[in-house]
Amino acid sequence: MKIKRISAAVISVVIFFCLAACKADANKPDMRAEALKSEAVKLIGWYKNEKAGESADLSELSASVEDTWSGASILCNADISVIGFAKYYGLSADYDAYFTKLETAFNEIYADKESVKSASPATLYILMRTLVLLDKNPRDFCGVDLIKAATTENTSFKSVYSTPYVLTVLDMWGLGTTEKSLVDSTVDWLFSEQHSDGGWGYEDFYTGEAVTDPDATAMVLAGLAPFVPKDNENIVRAWYCLKSYKTESGVYRSSYSDGSADTTSEVLTAVAAAGKNPYGEEFTTDGKNLIDIILSFRNEDGGLRPNTEDAPSSDITVQNALDAFYRTSVYLAEHTSADGKELFEVYLSVSCANVFLPENDGRLDSSVKEILPSSGIIFESGSVKAENKQTVYALIVSVLRENKIHCESSNGYVKGINNLYEKACGADSGWVFLINGEFSSAGANSVYVKENDRIEWLYSVEKGDVSGGDVIR
């Protein structure tokens, strides 16, 4: 039997497509999540071995530690964090035993329960996060409502290194609306501390000059993310400032090092918290994303060094990386649909403000006009989630239905929204859409949305009254 010889060119083509398929699978959200979990588990294992010993159970990690400066016992934030991450990633441990240890340490450190209110919001956030991951209630931990202690009742001094966590806690518990005054005052204070270059940091002890710290800048951005729009001028300036600390290799400089794993971890945390894509082009350098770059600091013992090539592995650097990986894991979970598709954020709004212009008075039937919002804003969201390869048409239909807003459409064409139909104000009236302030040459059912697109649906009464995303008045 003759065996035909396969040419090298054919083999090369087959290999190319196989590699491409593997790469495509690796970029799927569920595959990314598994890969990230695998790396996090390795780091948790290193941390446990380093702090408690190879044969120890994770529950043998500490709950308290002696403060270097005062000698008093304080909560061991790093160990407490790692316990929470271990539970999140499904590692086995005697978590009940650790919880008992945590209660004992807390009662000893805060024998006077009123003193909890003066604790750093950052410390209380870490404690609450771990309690939630352990399925415990932070509203009643050792008789203390930790949420109030970290926010409305907190009396600790304000600092750009801790105050952002007030916002993080409020967002974590969905209290942004009920505690709006606290949100507003905290946001205002943080913006008042912003440096002229857009970043945050500290005041030099000797010169009194403002020194921008990329770590602090990333922390503040993470805290502000749930409450301040991405296109806010101060937020844009801050991200631009942070970008200036990025080196050619993709590593971020710190205020003390030309390349820091810790600072890069803080940036990754801010990126994920802000709903930016950690795997997107903006944060990818020479094919490496921020996770790859952080892991490039790995030593032979499995830990991570903070900066220089010959530095030993650092438990704090590992804890910072795990914090960033956890935030990224949450991002992936929130940006993956039920059927495993990648989700990304776009801005979407629906307005019929044109109808309410004085020159258009009387054109619309009063029975329809009275059911429209007087502001003309039918729907407006800082961001909505869209699927990869989702059309503008599919997005508007799904979002309006999800928000129980009337929408009548057919064959890729939107006829009416909120009972306001085409031709209701004249022969030329109807719904039009803009993407990033521009009309599209194709229909809504032929245009795919992209990450961070600004999509506006506007009701046009007559030709020429909509231009560049603004209603011409």
Domain ranges of the chain: 32-334, 343-471
Burial of 45 (0-12, 13-18, 19+ CB in 10 A): middle
- Whether residue 18 has pLDDT greater than 50: no
**Is residue 75 a contact partner of residue 63, using CB atoms and an 8 Å limit?**
yes
**Residue 88 and residue 408: Cα distance in Å, rounded?**
43
Residue 384, φ and ψ in degrees, nearest 5: -130, 160
Residue 315, φ and ψ in degrees, nearest 5: -65, -35
**Residue 379 and residue 356: Cα distance in Å, rounded?**
16
Residue 7 pLDDT grade (very low, low, confident, very high; cuts 50, 70, 90): low
pLDDT, tens digit (0-9, with 9 covering 90-100), for 424-436: 999 999 999 999 9
Cite the beta strand spans of 325-469 per DSSP E. 343-351, 377-387, 407-410, 413-417, 420-421, 430-435, 438-439, 454-460, 466-467
> Residue 341: its pLDDT value, please?
79
**Which single residue is written with the structure tokens 């030309």?**
258
- Whether residue 138 has pLDDT greater than 70: yes
CB atoms within 10 A of CB 196: 9
> Domain spanning 343-471 has what CATH number?
2.170.130.30
Residue 118, φ and ψ in degrees, nearest 5: -95, 5
More confident residue, 411 or 222: 222
**Is residue 356 a contact partner of residue 374, using CB atoms and an 8 Å limit?**
yes
Q: How far is CA 451 from the centre of its chain?
A: 14
Mean residue pLDDT of the chain comes to: 89
Q: Give me Rg for the CA atoms of the chain.
A: 26
> Residue 10: its pLDDT value, please?
46
pTM comes to 0.79
Burial of 255 (0-12, 13-18, 19+ CB in 10 A): middle
**Is residue 461 a contact partner of residue 429, using CB atoms and an 8 Å limit?**
yes
> Residue 22: its pLDDT value, please?
41
Bridge-partner residues for 457, per DSSP? 350, 433
Listed range (17-31, 32-46, 136-150) with the worst mean pLDDT: 17-31
* Helical packing angle, 315-334 and 77-88, nearest 10°: 40
> What's the average model confidence in pLDDT over 182-201?
96
Residue 204 pLDDT grade (very low, low, confident, very high; cuts 50, 70, 90): confident
CB atoms within 10 A of CB 82: 24
* Torsion 124-291-248-256 (CA) sign: positive
* DSSP structural state of residue 29: H
Burial of 213 (0-12, 13-18, 19+ CB in 10 A): buried
pLDDT, tens digit (0-9, with 9 covering 90-100), for 253-287: 998 888 999 999 999 999 999 999 999 889 999 99
**Residue 303 and residue 317: Cα distance in Å, rounded?**
9
CATH 2.30.110.10 given to domain 32-334: no
Burial of 183 (0-12, 13-18, 19+ CB in 10 A): buried
**Residue 262 and residue 260: Cα distance in Å, rounded?**
5
- Whether residue 2 has pLDDT greater than 80: no
> What's the average model confidence in pLDDT over 279-300?
95
H or E element in which residue 75 lies: strand 73-75
> Residue 380: its pLDDT value, please?
87
